[in-house]
A = this chain, B = another copy of it.
């Protein structure tokens, strides 16, 4: 538990100057094979680790990425975790650390981590349609990548799943199955009101496809208490035709509610959903999955390209395409 060794200690043991130690570590100038060896041996012997703060101070970089994360959100925990995991792994592959910032710090969170030089770049998850953080990002001297698409993407780096395409796929699938009327179980009121940008995008995709396929839409909302039974009873009961249902939220609850109502998915009712891959599998749902891992990978590629200065011309918006996987909840 004695004091941590510094590069000076390494230098002394290796019999070189401190700056040489630094150059061995950074590789920023040629080093003879013999001194490199002696330095590396000394480093190993002392289990020397460079002091991150000193490095940040002198080197003007932190080797850290800040991630602004909305814990309470329209996304499921699974989806959020997938984002965070993939981002963290990508960061480590490039020897960067991840600083977790809660979105409920608001725009100040972004200002803080950048102002304090805590990171070299920022990932903002779940940007709003009209998000102050987008305005701030344009003024910042470091890369900020958004997951989501705000209204005005000018000068921003945005990546996301193609929710509009997803909405269209879901409607098309039910239309192909012959449904002229489709019931949509949409997000609860509080989610819609928080202005998440993908709510309108998904909605647009659904509505355009419905118009194109001449499908009548009936929108329902998950109640605040997540008890969807009455909603689904209202939508599906007492019908002569076979109901077609799109689930956007409260998916496990909805599947269970249908079962309680005596409706077998794929038999008595066709169900398609927007969900994570895992949830769709667990519930056996024909679904469009939101591919958080693909999105994260592209986010980090773009982010490091910006840090490396190897980024091609600004893309502004990059969308991961939607695909539909058929499972037991629809009968073809």
Chain A residues with CB under 8 Å of chain B are: 1, 4, 47-57, 62, 64, 67, 71, 76-78, 80-82, 84-85, 88-89, 92, 97-102, 105, 111-113, 115-118, 139-141, 226, 252-253, 255-256, 259, 281-284
Task: Write the nearest CB–CB distance from A279 to chain B, whole angstroms.
Answer: 8
Determine the chain B residues whose CB is within 8 A of the CB of A259 once the complex forms: 259
Task: Write the nearest CB–CB distance from A252 to chain B, whole angstroms.
Answer: 4
What would be 12 A-B contacts, judged by CB atoms less than 8 Å apart?
A52-B56, A53-B53, A76-B77, A77-B78, A78-B78, A81-B81, A97-B101, A97-B113, A99-B99, A100-B100, A255-B256, A256-B284
Determine the chain B residues whose CB is within 8 A of the CB of A97 once the complex forms: 99-101, 113, 118
B57 contacts A111, C-beta separation under 8 Å: no
Determine the chain B residues whose CB is within 8 A of the CB of A55 once the complex forms: 53
Residue of B nearest to A282 (CB): B252
Tell me the bound Cα distance from A111 to B44 in angstroms.
13
Known: A54-B57, A282-B252. A111 touches B71 (CB 8 A): no
Determine the chain B residues whose CB is within 8 A of the CB of A84 once the complex forms: 71, 84, 100
A52 contacts B118, C-beta separation under 8 Å: yes
Residue of B nearest to A5 (CB): B115
Determine the chain B residues whose CB is within 8 A of the CB of A113 once the complex forms: 97
Tell me the bound Cα distance from A247 to B112 in angstroms.
45
Known: A81-B77, A81-B81, A283-B252. A49 touches B139 (CB 8 A): no
Tell me the bound Cα distance from A89 to B88 in angstroms.
19
Task: Write the nearest CB–CB distance from A186 to chain B, whole angstroms.
Answer: 18
A105 contacts B92, C-beta separation under 8 Å: yes
Tell me the bound Cα distance from A259 to B255 in angstroms.
11
A47 contacts B111, C-beta separation under 8 Å: yes
Residue of B nearest to A64 (CB): B99
Tell me the bound Cα distance from A113 to B111 in angstroms.
24
Task: Write the nearest CB–CB distance from A135 to chain B, whole angstroms.
Answer: 15
Q: Apart from A1-B139, A71-B85, A252-B283, what 17 extra A-B contacts exist at CB < 8 Å?
A: A4-B115, A47-B115, A52-B62, A52-B116, A52-B118, A53-B117, A57-B57, A64-B99, A67-B100, A71-B84, A77-B80, A77-B82, A97-B118, A99-B99, A226-B281, A252-B252, A259-B259
